[in-house]
């Protein structure tokens, strides 16, 4: 497999030589970064378009699935698709710069050509959730995979009953997608945000996400059993507390869905990096119902 130079990736001049190098590269789709938006100090939103019009139109994914993004010459990594499935191959990925690949990515310019493979993994059963109340619960970067099912709800709002988003961030400067909150609320979505630490600008509640959830459960008479589904995305420590509260409110485990973003390398069930016992999270996950999670030793 041919590798490209990092210099090529950052070059504003996308020469024909580089294009032909890309044709030798092992990936499924050639894609172009069409826009880059800085959301916080560490997260950027990338709008990425599959270059070939036919491939772009036929690219189909389900909410909760991920793609492998390859930065030629640097490497590849799994990233949740954070856009609406109805946008096909016009994808949005939100990436936190944490290491080699993601720091290089944070420096690329609009127009950079990348490789996209996928979509991979399991998804949230948004059709099964129709005619029910939906609780979307996210901590930190967990709001990223949650946006795809949220778009499905927004685009088919009348098919869902009460919809709540409960979002916890460490502090106001780390809140993601702030520019969309008003739009979500216009779709009759009850959005509650809580931060661990306030700053001078913050007027909202301070504390843990479980405090907001407790209030929501109380308004349901401490019983969510009748007709509710929950999607929970965030750091593993959050799953325990949030899912325990949901179960105590009599929500069946099979109606609680989580996304387990274990360390993954190949995304294709070959490298044995992400397995939990015999379960490969890249193939059987990342989306699991909570019943399955509890039956996987050391899953969270």
Ligand X SMILES: Cc1cc2nc3c(=O)[nH]c(=O)nc-3n(C[C@H](O)[C@H](O)[C@H](O)COP(=O)(O)OP(=O)(O)OC[C@H]3O[C@@H](n4cnc5c(N)ncnc54)[C@H](O)[C@@H]3O)c2cc1C
CA 151/CA 82 separation, integer angstroms: 9
Question: Taking CB under 6 A as the rule, does residue 144 contact ligand X?
Answer: yes
For residue 269, the 8-state DSSP code is S
Q: Nearer Cβ to ligand X, position 98 or 206? A: 98
Question: Taking CB under 6 A as the rule, does residue 63 contact ligand X?
Answer: no
Name the pairing type of β-strands 163-169 and 133-139: parallel
Instruction: Kindly tell me which residue out of 201, 263, 297, 298 binds ligand X, with binding defined by CB under 6 A.
Output: 263
| Count of other CB atoms within 10 angstroms of residue 62 | 19
**Structure token digits, residue 39:** 């959301």
Q: Nearer Cβ to ligand X, position 102 or 284? A: 102
- The set of residues, in sequence order, having a beta carbon less than 8 Å from that of 262 and lying 6+ positions away, is 273, 274, 276, 281, 285, 286
Question: Taking CB under 6 A as the rule, does residue 95 contact ligand X?
Answer: yes
Where in 270-289 is the site for ligand X (CB under 6 A)? 286
Please choose, from the candidates 166, 181, 171, the residue with its C-alpha nearest in 3D space to the C-alpha of residue 215.
166
In the complex, minimum distance from the CB of residue 167 to ligand X, in angstroms, rounded to a whole number: 15
Cα-trace Rg, the chain: 20
In the complex, minimum distance from the CB of residue 222 to ligand X, in angstroms, rounded to a whole number: 34
CA 81/CA 63 separation, integer angstroms: 8
Q: Nearer Cβ to ligand X, position 96 or 255? A: 96
Question: Taking CB under 6 A as the rule, does residue 99 contact ligand X?
Answer: yes
> 44 φ, ψ to 5°?
-125, 150
Instruction: Kindly tell me which residue out of 8, 164, 192, 261 binds ligand X, with binding defined by CB under 6 A.
Output: 261
HSE at residue 300, side-chain half, CA atoms within 13 A, is 27
- The set of residues, in sequence order, having a beta carbon less than 8 Å from that of 55 and lying 6+ positions away, is 29, 89
Question: Taking CB under 6 A as the rule, does residue 80 contact ligand X?
Answer: yes
Q: Nearer Cβ to ligand X, position 79 or 257? A: 79
Instruction: Kindly tell me which residue out of 78, 125, 139, 149 binds ligand X, with binding defined by CB under 6 A.
Output: 78
CA 57/CA 244 separation, integer angstroms: 41
> 290 φ, ψ to 5°?
-70, -25
Residue whose tokens read 């998804």: 123
Instruction: Kindly tell me which residue out of 264, 276, 293, 300 binds ligand X, with binding defined by CB under 6 A.
Output: 264
Question: Taking CB under 6 A as the rule, does residue 101 contact ligand X?
Answer: yes
Stretch that binds ligand X, among 74-82, 110-118, 173-181, 197-205 (CB under 6 A): 74-82
Stretch that binds ligand X, among 95-103, 110-118, 149-157, 180-188 (CB under 6 A): 95-103
Question: Taking CB under 6 A as the rule, does residue 140 contact ligand X?
Answer: no
Q: Nearer Cβ to ligand X, position 81 or 189? A: 81
Where in 172-231 is the site for ligand X (CB under 6 A)? none
Question: Taking CB under 6 A as the rule, does residue 37 contact ligand X?
Answer: no
Stretch that binds ligand X, among 15-23, 88-96, 195-203, 212-220 (CB under 6 A): 88-96
Question: Taking CB under 6 A as the rule, does residue 125 contact ligand X?
Answer: no
CA 9/CA 62 separation, integer angstroms: 29
CA 181/CA 45 separation, integer angstroms: 16
Residues interacting with ligand X, by CB under 6 A?
66, 77-80, 94-96, 98-102, 141, 144, 261-264, 286
């Amino acid at each position: 497999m041919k590798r490209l130079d990092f210099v090529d990736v950052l070059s504003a001049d996308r020469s024909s030589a580089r294009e032909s190098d890309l044709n030798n590269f092992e990936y499924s789709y050639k894609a172009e970064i069409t826009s880059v938006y800085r959301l916080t100090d560490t997260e950027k939103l990338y709008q990425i378009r599959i270059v070939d019009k036919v491939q772009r139109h036929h690219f189909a994914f389900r909410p909760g699935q991920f793609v492998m993004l390859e930065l030629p010459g640097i490497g590849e990594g799994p990233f949740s698709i954070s856009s609406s499935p109805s946008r096909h191959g016009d994808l949005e990925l939100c990436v936190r710069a944490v290491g080699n690949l993601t720091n290089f990515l944070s420096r690329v310019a609009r127009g950079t050509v990348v490789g996209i493979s996928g979509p991979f993994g399991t998804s949230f059963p948004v059709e099964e959730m129709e005619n029910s109340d939906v609780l979307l619960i996210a901590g930190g970067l967990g709001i990223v995979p949650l946006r795809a099912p949220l778009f499905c709800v927004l685009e088919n709002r009348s098919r869902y009953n009460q919809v709540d988003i409960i979002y916890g961030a460490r502090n106001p400067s780390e809140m993601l997608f702030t520019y969309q909150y008003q739009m979500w609320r216009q779709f009759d979505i009850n959005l509650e945000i809580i931060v661990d630490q306030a700053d001078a600008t913050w007027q909202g509640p301070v504390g843990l996400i479980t405090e907001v959830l407790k209030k929501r459960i109380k308004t349901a008479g401490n019983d969510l059993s009748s007709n509710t589904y929950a999607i929970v995305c965030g750091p593993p420590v959050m799953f325990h507390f949030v899912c325990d509260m949901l179960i105590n409110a009599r929500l069946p485990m099979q109606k609680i869905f989580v996304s387990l973003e274990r360390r993954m390398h190949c995304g294709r069930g070959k490298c044995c990096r992400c397995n939990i016992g015999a379960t490969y999270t890249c193939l059987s996950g990342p989306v699991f119902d909570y019943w399955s999670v509890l039956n996987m030793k050391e899953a969270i």
